Amino acid sequence: MNDITVIGLGAMGSALATCLMERGLGVTVWNRSADKAATLVDRGARLADSPREAVRDSPVTVVSVLDYAAAQGILDQAEEALSGRTLVNLTNGTPAQARRMAAWVEGHGAGYVDGAVMVTPEMVGGPDAFLLYSGNESAFGQHEDALSTLGNSTFIGENVASAAIYDLALLASMFGMFGGYLHAAALLRSEGIPVSRVAPMIMSLLKAMIELYPAIAREVDTGEYASPSSNNAMMAAALKNILDGSREQKVREDLLTPVWQLFDQSRHHGLGESDISALVPLLEAGDSD
């Protein structure tokens, strides 16, 4: 019996397995493409012949593959081995997928913990690494020491969908930021300006804006929206200029069109003078016009 099993040896799974081994744990691995295990095996990992053998080899199995369909396809081959063990699924997915997986795994007699790795593979095990977990708290507690070697571990609660919704929310913030940055880069290039020249200014602006997040969060949570100096109607006009300017410069505007639409809707809802926090309820399904 080994200490821990890692299923999935893509960029993330390999980083997880490497980190666990570096911390002195005995690691069993399995990956659809077995060749990806070579380096880990050279360093002392045990390569299982099948998902079933991999799960059977340790009290706890960590899964990190592309998506839940891949994870389920692998676990279907291991269901007889699950009973009495813990499965920690670090695969990115939706809350509904986490709930379905939890029911299936617990139905096979195993403890299920859903999780999310909130850093890149290079950062796993480092001081800034953090991972989120939810689901079966006693199963998490049994393996917390091993899991904590991967980074700062936070157990959010027994609602198994929590880790997935946190994961999607954090990534939504990140992708929104990336989308804006990519659009900015295209706009700059349209005028022959090197993006590197402007990147420090963009970073400076974003750092200042991020300081507003706690106040925005409080307003969203209380439903009491401030009337700031930068209101939604003013920002809708600026966003329209971004779209018009992009068209003029032959840059696709479609990435930011829905953002302008949201700010523009504020006027129809009497929220033109409000802070951006007031726009959040408009994003709830059925509220668009």
Ligand X SMILES: NC(=O)c1ccc[n+]([C@@H]2O[C@H](COP(=O)([O-])OP(=O)(O)OC[C@H]3O[C@@H](n4cnc5c(N)ncnc54)[C@H](OP(=O)(O)O)[C@@H]3O)[C@@H](O)[C@H]2O)c1
In the complex, the residues that contact ligand X under the rule CB under 6 A are 8-13, 31-33, 36, 64-66, 70, 73-74, 91-92, 117, 120-121
- Residue nearest ligand X, Cβ-based: 10
Q: Kindly state the smallest distance separating residue 214's Cβ from ligand X, in Å.
A: 25
Q: Kindly state the smallest distance separating residue 253's Cβ from ligand X, in Å.
A: 29
What are the structure tokens assigned to 214, written together? 């706690």
Q: Kindly state the smallest distance separating residue 162's Cβ from ligand X, in Å.
A: 16
Q: Kindly state the smallest distance separating residue 261's Cβ from ligand X, in Å.
A: 29
Q: Kindly state the smallest distance separating residue 121's Cβ from ligand X, in Å.
A: 5
Identify which of residues 13 and 111 has a Cβ nearer to ligand X in the complex. Answer: 13
Identify which of residues 33 and 222 has a Cβ nearer to ligand X in the complex. Answer: 33
Identify which of residues 23 and 32 has a Cβ nearer to ligand X in the complex. Answer: 32
Cα-Cα-Cα-Cα dihedral sign, residues 95, 99, 100, 101:
positive
Q: Kindly state the smallest distance separating residue 189's Cβ from ligand X, in Å.
A: 26
Identify which of residues 35 and 42 has a Cβ nearer to ligand X in the complex. Answer: 35
Identify which of residues 36 and 100 has a Cβ nearer to ligand X in the complex. Answer: 36
Identify which of residues 66 and 201 has a Cβ nearer to ligand X in the complex. Answer: 66
